[in-house]
């Protein structure tokens, strides 16, 4: 059950990012969808959705790799220099 929840945590932002790509593509080809009043707004909503989904997936992967010690030394937290 835990693996299924983890999969859904990654699939849902992936779907959101894919919908953002679709909105940007449709506005480039001048296909206006129903809830958006203009192509420019549709394009910017697509950019926001794409970047939100991509950043969530990237942050999830970065956090997982950081927890497992698989990141570069420049991103690692130094033990003697923690400031909270």
How confident is the model over 58-72, as a mean pLDDT? Answer: 90
Question: Structure tokens of 56?
Answer: 């969530």
Structural domain tally of the chain? 1
Helix axes 39-68, 2-28, angle to 10 degrees: 150
Model confidence pLDDT, tens digit, residues 20-62: 999 999 999 999 999 999 999 999 999 999 999 999 999 999 9
Q: Taking the CA atoms of the chain, what radius of gyration do you get in angstroms? A: 18
Name the residue range of residue 12's domain.
2-68
Q: Is residue 80 part of a domain?
A: no
Q: Is residue 16 part of a domain?
A: yes
Q: Is residue 11 part of a domain?
A: yes
Classify the C-alpha dihedral 34-36-42-44 as positive or negative: negative
Give the predicted TM-score (pTM) of the model.
0.82
Could you report how far apart the first and last alpha carbons of the chain are, in Å? Answer: 34
Q: Is residue 82 part of a domain?
A: no
């Amino acid at each position: 059950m835990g693996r299924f929840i983890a999969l859904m945590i990654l699939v849902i932002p992936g779907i959101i990012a894919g919908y953002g790509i679709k909105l940007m593509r449709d506005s480039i080809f001048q296909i206006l969808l129903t809830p958006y009043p203009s192509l420019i707004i549709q394009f910017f909503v697509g950019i926001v959705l794409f970047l939100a989904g991509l950043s969530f997936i990237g942050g999830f992967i970065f956090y997982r790799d950081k927890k497992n010690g698989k990141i570069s030394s420049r991103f690692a937290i130094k033990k003697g220099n923690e400031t909270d």
